[in-house]
Amino acid sequence: MSFYRKITLLLSLSILFSVMAIAQKMSFTSQVSGSTVGIREQFRVTFTISNPTEALDFMEPLLKDFMIIEGPRQSNSTTFVSIYGRNEEQLTVSYSYVLQPRRLGTMVIGAAGIRTQSGQQLSTKPIQIKVTAQNQGGNRDDAFTDDIDKQMAETMRRRQQMLQQLFEEPEEPQPLPIDDIKGLTAEHLDENIFIRAEVDQKNPYVGQQVNVVYKLYTRLKMSMSPTAFPALNGFWTQDIKLPPDSPPVQENYNGKRYNVFVLKKAALFPQEAGTLALDQAKAQGKVEVAEYIGANRYMPTWVDVSLESPIVPITVKPLPAPNKPADFSGGLGEFTIATNLSNRKFSTDDVVQLVLTVAGNGNIGLISAPQLALPTGLSVIDPEVKDSIVDIMPKLLGTKQFIYQISADSAGTYTIPSMRFSYFDISTNQYKVLHTDSFQVSVSKGTKPKIVKGDAIDQMKDIHGLMSSNPSFNGSSVPLWRRGFYWGLYLLTGLVLGLLLWRQHRKRYKEQHADVFKQKTANKEAWKRLATARNAIQHSKHTVFYEEVSKAVWLYLSDKLGISLSELSKENVAQKLRFKQIEENLIEQTLALITECEMALYSPVGGQQQKQQTLEEAVRIIGIFENQFKKK
């Protein structure tokens, strides 16, 4: 063999082995079904490992901008290729997700990684996804049309939604580790949902402000309703009005993050010394917990729950007895006073107003009127009282006015003396006394005679003198039974009695046939709620919109299918609809609409157009149901 032929053979073998080595080299790539998607569209992202040579660990990407509908789903495949006549086996391992965007804009799918047992690491590059308000069309997700059973896919979707909604932050939701899922079972219910009362003062003085907030803490998806609010006996209470549509806030408590709902907020002022109790707030409803089904897997399930807040004791101290003024007003806090007289020159015909204004922070509602001691010749009646509250927490801030009406019995010059206002200063733990200014007034004689007590009897005689003769009554001589109004009264009485009997009969009939009446009025009630939802779109009320759409669909199905609210669930609704031979496609669309509303309440995305589409979908579904129920 010549030298050149040897060189050619060696080069050919080198190229062959290089190609084979390249073919066997491990690689890690990513692929998405579309780089531009609509806010309501689902799409697939796949991470593929080609030619793995040893066991490895898959490190999931950061998907904080997306809802995980399914995944990660692992699949393995083996192919045979022929390279220069040599058959080679190639193994491919894939991890795929089905995702849906959370908001508009440019979102990022984080890098995924793999680590082999020998320590080799590979990672993909982050992928940018453009999210638009309009759907891009086409079938971007074949997750529910392949060999996966649809019912299992729905179960997986519900499970993932539950886990995401429990702990996600409103802006930056985080995935829930498997260790946390184990803590969301029914056995740990008391740790995951409860009511507690927060107080800022447990050892106040009598009359000192105590702020209390009753909160419901939850790490679970829930449907709860308050059943009893605390009576707060022994306290003068100033309630704080809560916004009707306030969302929950995130709060860390005992090292865990909760969604927190405020049930009641009030400023309390104890009325007596001793031990008083902040009694319980109560709520009932259903919560969704994780149920272990084996193989390190958990499924969501609803359970009934009743909640009660613990009783909080408040030890109330009496005010210090030493140096307590005899004319103590009952005020605790920090106050100032001011007075104003409407007129310093008036006649005996006039009445002037002296207004004493107490301003500051403290128990303004419990302050009593200071005593006004007038000289002989001036008279006053009990003052009119006006309260004005500016703020309640952390300290009740406002003013209280005492309006004294003063009149003069005779002309002359008088002095309206200074008034004392005493209160207990919480900041210094001391009693303080404030004094108002005195006023010099000049009273002239009026034109009207003054009435003194001795003239009262003479005035009564004058009144009696107005009726000195016996009255005469001239009635008609026509008999009563011949008058028209006599028979009209009989007719009117009969009509009223008949109406009352008819209403009683109708009420009894409704009670006996409640299910029938609910079915008849279900459509009307649903349209009312959808009208409210349409109004919520116009006023940008996100939570109200999805609540009303959800209630419209849920309560419509509850009435039409005869399912009580305590048993109302997606499974029961689907079962009843299938029993009535409703098309499976319509059932799936209904459950998807309910799920969309539930998700939107926890992760608000989208704008007016998306809400309009949701509203139209609800109108369409209820309309179809109404037509089909009428035929059956």
Contact indicator for 369, 383 with CB cutoff of 8 Å: yes
Q: 386 vs 182, which has greater pLDDT?
A: 386
Q: Per mean pLDDT, which range of 120-134, 292-306, 420-434 is the poorest?
A: 292-306
- 380-403 b/e (C-beta count within 10 Å ≥ 16 → b): eeebeeeeeeeebeeebbbbbbbb
Q: Per mean pLDDT, which range of 164-168, 238-242, 319-323, 500-504 is the poorest?
A: 164-168
Q: What is the CB neighbour count within 10 angstroms for residue 625? A: 23
* DSSP letters spanning 278-334: E---EEEEEEEEEEEEETTEEEEEEEEEEEEPPPEEEEEBPPP-TT--TT---EEEE
Q: What is the CB neighbour count within 10 angstroms for residue 592? A: 14
When pLDDT is cut at 50, 70 and 90, the band that residue 356 belongs to is very high
Q: What is the CB neighbour count within 10 angstroms for residue 284? A: 15
Asked whether the predicted pLDDT for residue 506 surpasses 70, the reply is no
When pLDDT is cut at 50, 70 and 90, the band that residue 40 belongs to is confident
Contact indicator for 260, 215 with CB cutoff of 8 Å: yes
Q: Nearest CA to 40 among 614, 480, 568, 627?
A: 614
Asked whether the predicted pLDDT for residue 199 surpasses 90, the reply is yes
Place of tokens 């391992």: 93
Place of tokens 């930056």: 172
Contact indicator for 401, 420 with CB cutoff of 8 Å: no
Q: What is the per-residue pLDDT for 204? A: 93
Alpha-carbon torsion (586, 587, 591, 594), positive or negative: positive
Q: What is the per-residue pLDDT for 183? A: 65
- The distance of Cα 439 from the centroid of its chain, to the nearest Å, equals 54
When pLDDT is cut at 50, 70 and 90, the band that residue 300 belongs to is confident
**227 CB contacts (<8 Å, ≥6 apart)?**
282, 283, 284
Look up the pTM and report it.
0.44
Torsion from C-alpha of 361, 363, 365, 366, nearest 10 degrees: -140
The C-alpha atoms of residue 551 and residue 343 are separated, in whole angstroms, by 62
Q: What is the per-residue pLDDT for 368? A: 92
pLDDT tens digits, one per residue of 365-409:
889 999 999 999 999 988 999 988 877 778 888 899 999 999 998
Q: Express as a percent the part of the chain with pLDDT over 90.
A: 24
Mapped onto helix, strand or coil, the DSSP state of residue 249 is strand
When pLDDT is cut at 50, 70 and 90, the band that residue 481 belongs to is low
Which domains does the chain show, CATH number per domain? Answer: 27-141 (2.60.40.10), 186-316 (no CATH), 331-444 (2.60.40.740), 514-631 (1.20.120)
Q: Per mean pLDDT, which range of 37-46, 204-213, 404-413 is the poorest?
A: 37-46
When mean pLDDT is compared over 148-152, 178-182, 436-440, 506-510, the highest value belongs to 436-440
Asked whether the predicted pLDDT for residue 7 surpasses 60, the reply is no
Average confidence score pLDDT of the chain = 77
When pLDDT is cut at 50, 70 and 90, the band that residue 451 belongs to is low
Q: What is the per-residue pLDDT for 358? A: 93
Q: Nearest CA to 442 among 411, 416, 413, 415?
A: 413
Mapped onto helix, strand or coil, the DSSP state of residue 178 is helix
Alpha-carbon torsion (52, 58, 62, 67), positive or negative: positive
* Helix H or strand E encompassing 385: strand 384-391
The C-alpha atoms of residue 392 and residue 266 are separated, in whole angstroms, by 8
Q: What is the per-residue pLDDT for 435? A: 94
Q: What is the per-residue pLDDT for 165? A: 44
